[in-house]
Amino acid sequence: MAVSTQRTRALVTIKVLHTVVWAFFVGCIFAIPVAGMMRRFGVAWILAGVVLMECLVLAVNGGRCPLTPIAGRFTEDRTDAFDIYLPEWLARWNKVLFGALFVTGVLFTLWLRFRSS
């Protein structure tokens, strides 16, 4: 197998894995207010904890996913989405957009939890 084919396969594998992990965390972010509306606050807090653990991983890695430097070994491309299957604009604004959605979802869930207490 040619070296370029091996590099391409490795990069595709990393991009698929990165996209699946990203989708998992986006699902967690969207599920937090849904769990709150269903009054499943324990589930909402677990989901928030999972997302916060990912935030810790990103913080420890200088704000980048640990898969990014691994993907970088297999390509010279450094566009915003070189390591994940997302549109460039979404990859660029990912942390801002989903960070705001996460905070909003947690605040909404807190409001639901304490509004009738």
Q: What is the DSSP string of 19-33?
A: HHHHHHHHHHHHHHH
The pTM of the full predicted model, rounded to 2 decimals, is 0.93
Best CA proximity match to 11, nearest among 66, 89, 70:
70
pLDDT string in tens for the chain (117-residue length) = 687 899 999 999 999 999 999 999 999 999 999 999 999 999 999 999 999 999 999 999 999 999 999 999 999 999 999 999 999 999 999 999 999 999 999 999 999 999 966
Burial of 99 (0-12, 13-18, 19+ CB in 10 A): middle
Distance of alpha carbon 58 from alpha carbon 50, whole angstroms: 13
What are the percentages of helix, strand and coil residues in the chain, rounded to 5?
75, 0, 25
Domain ranges of the chain: 3-115
Residue pair 68/83 in contact (Cβ under 8 Å)? The answer is yes
